Structure 1
Amino acid sequence: MNIKNVYILEDRSILYINGDDAKDFLQNLISNDINKVSEVDSCFASLLTPQGKFLYEFIIIKHKSGYLLDCEKYQADGLFNQLSLYKLRSKVEILNLSNEFVVAAFSNEKFLKFDDAKDQAGFTIKYREDPILLDPRNKQLGARLIINLEKLYLSLKKLDLHDSNVNEYYSLSHKLGIVPKDLNKLQNKLFGIECNFEELNGIDFKKGCYVGQENTARIKLKNKLSKRLMPIKIIEGKLNKGEGIFNNENEIGKVLIDNDYPFALIKYLDENFDEKVNFKTKEATITVKKPYWIN
C-alpha cells in the first residue's frame, strides 16, 4: 500500500454490543477470547453453527462501554438477527450503526507514524475519539479507522490520506489469501477452522465453550484438518460456484466464491495438489496458491 492511500470500505457495516452482560454474552458465542479485547487491543473472531460450520466473521473493537463489530455489509443483518436470537434475557443491547459509521483502511507504514503505535496485529490507538487498529488478521492488510461518516473526509484530509480505488485493497487481500468479500457464499459450506481462522488469529483453543467449539477442537486435536480455503487465480475461462477443481481426473477442491476475488476449498494435503500445476474446472483453467502463512 502507498503510505498516502486510503480505501473507503463501503462494503463493511458496524454493529454495537453494549450492556451489563455484553462481555459474557460475546464470550459464550464467539470463537476467540473476548478478554483479549481492550482499549489497546482488538481481535478477529467468528460465529459458527453448533456443528462448527462457518456463519459470520468480524473484527471486535472496544468502544466506550461496549464493543464494535466490524463485519461485511451483506452479513450484517444476518449477524444482527443471529445475535438477537442468543440474547434471551441477557442485559445486552445490539445496535446496527451502519448508517452512522464507516470503515477506512490504510497502510501499516502510515499507522506506525502515529504516536504510541506498535507494529503488532490488533494493536489499537485512538485518533481523537475514533479507534484505529492494525488489522488483527494480518499486519500486511494495514490499519482500519472506524469513524463517524460526518467526520470522515475532514479527518482524512488532516491525516493527509487520499481516497483510492478500493479494488487495490481487495486485490491485496485476495493475494494474501484473506477473503475480502462475498462471505455469504461460505456459510454452512465449510468448518470455521477450514477458513484458516487459527492462522488469522480468530480461534482461541484455550478459552471455554462457545458455539461450535466441540467440533472445532476435535478437528484440531485429532489432526483432521485436510482441507483449507485458498485463493484462485483464473488463467482463462469462467468459474461457477460449487463446481469441482481437478488435476487430470482427480478432484482436489471445490469453488466456493466465483466472483472477482475467487476462493476454493482445497484438499491441500492430497498428493494430487501441487501449487506448480494448472488445474481445471468445467469451463476454466486456474492456479491455486497456498498463502505463505499456512504451514
Structure 2
Amino acid sequence: MTAEQAGYAILEDRGVIAVAGEDRAAFLQGLVSNDVRRVAADRAVYALFLTPQGKFLHDFRIAESDGALLLDPETERREEFLRRLKMYKLRSKITLEDRAGAMLAVVLFGGDALARLGLPEEAGAAIPFAGGVAFTDPRLPALGARAFLPREGAAAALEAAGFVPRGAEDYDRLRLSLGVPEGSRDLTPDKALPLENDLDDLNAISWDKGCYMGQELTARTKYRALIKKKLFPVTLDGPLPAPGTPVTLEGKEVGEIRSGHGSTALALLRLEDLTRAGQDGLVLTAGEATVTPAKPVWASF
C-alpha cells in the first residue's frame, strides 16, 4: 500500500448518536453553533456545543440518514453529551439514541477517496452509502470524507469500493499537517474559545442563524476583535513534547503544545509574541524541542 492509496480508518474515539422525531432539527438549532436547517440527505455540517460563556464543550459532525440526525461526539464523553441534551429536551418531540454499538464513525482519506465515493471537493456534500451516509469533511475537504455506517458489513462495503484499511494514526498525521484540531485532545473543555482555535474557518459556526448556546459571547469575540491567541501547526526539532507542555520565548511562556505525532504538533500561541519572535529572529522552544509554527493554508487570520 502506498501513501497515495485511498484508505479508511475506524474512529474508535468517536461514537454515533441519533436525534430523531419531528422536532429534531429545531431542538438542535437552539443548542449548537451551526445551522442545522442546512442538514439534509445531501448536506452535512460540523458544529459545536458550547457553554453559555462561549467555551468549548463538544464538537461533532451532523448528517441525516433514514429520518434521523446522526452526530459523532467523542466516545469517552458521549454519555455526558447525551445527558446535556436530555436536560434541554423538555417537551420537544424528539428521541435520543446511543447508536455507538450499532454504527461506526469512519474516516476515508488519501488518494482519490472523495472520487471513489462520488463526492465533490465541497465541504459537507453528502450521499447515502452502505446503509448509512458518507460526506466530504465539512471542516476541510483536504481531510477527505467521513461516514456513519452500520457496523455489520462496513469493512466489506468500504473495501468493495476500493478503500484499504489504515490506522487512525495515519489519518492523525494528515490532520496535524493541515493544522486541524481534534476534539478535547486540542480543545480544553470549558476553557477553549472557538475563534482562538480557528473553528470559524473550519465551518463550525453560522453567523446568521440566530441564537444558540454561547452565541452572544462568540459573536462579541468576533466583532470586537478580542482574539490574542491562535492554534498553529508546528514543526518540532527534538523530542515530541507532551500535550500541555509550555511553549517559551526567551524564558517566557507564550503558548502550549496540544496533540502531536512525530515531528508535527499543534500549539496554541500568543500572536503578539509570535510576531516579535519573527521580527527579531528568536526561537520558540517546548521541552527539549525547538518549535517552528506555520499559518494553516486555509486560515483567514
Same fold (TM over 0.5): yes
Instruction: Choose the corresponding residue for 1:265, options 260, 265, 268.
Output: 268
Q: Is the 8 A contact 1:137 1:200 kept in 2?
A: yes
Q: Is the 8 A contact 1:185 1:257 kept in 2?
A: no
Distance 1:97 1:184 in 2: 25
2:174 alignment counterpart: 172
Q: Give the AA of the match of 1:272.
A: R
Coordinate RMSD, CA, aligned: 2.4
Query: Structure 1 residue 11 and structure 2 residue 13: aligned?
Result: yes
Q: Give the AA of the match of 1:162.
A: V
Distance 1:128 1:285, change over 3 A: closer
Normalization by structure 1: what TM-score? 0.90
2:72 alignment counterpart: 70
1:111 alignment counterpart: 114
Mapping of 1:1-295 within 5 angstroms?
Answer: 2-107=4-109, 109-115=112-118, 117-180=119-182, 182-183=184-185, 186-237=188-239, 239-257=241-259, 262-270=265-273, 271-274=275-278, 278-295=283-300
C-alpha deviation, 1:283, in angstroms: 4.7
Distance 1:293 1:268, change over 3 A: farther
Distance 1:78 1:289, change over 3 A: farther
SS in 1 for 2:16: strand
Q: Is the 8 A contact 2:58 2:183 kept in 1?
A: no
Which residues of structure 1 form unaligned runs of 5+? none
Q: Give the AA of the match of 1:132.
A: A
Q: Is the 8 A contact 1:5 1:106 kept in 2?
A: yes
SS in 2 for 1:178: coil
C-alpha deviation, 1:197, in angstroms: 1.2
SS in 1 for 2:195: helix
- CA deviation vs aligned residue, 1:230-286 (integer Å, no higher than 9, x gap): 234432246354443222144321334478774332112443353986412355433
Q: Give the AA of the match of 2:276.
A: N
Q: Is the 8 A contact 1:75 1:184 kept in 2?
A: no
Distance 2:140 2:97 in 1: 28
Q: Is the 8 A contact 2:133 2:149 kept in 1?
A: yes
Distance 1:118 1:250, change over 3 A: same
Shifted more, 106-115 versus 2-11: the winner is 106-115
Q: Is the 8 A contact 1:186 1:257 kept in 2?
A: no
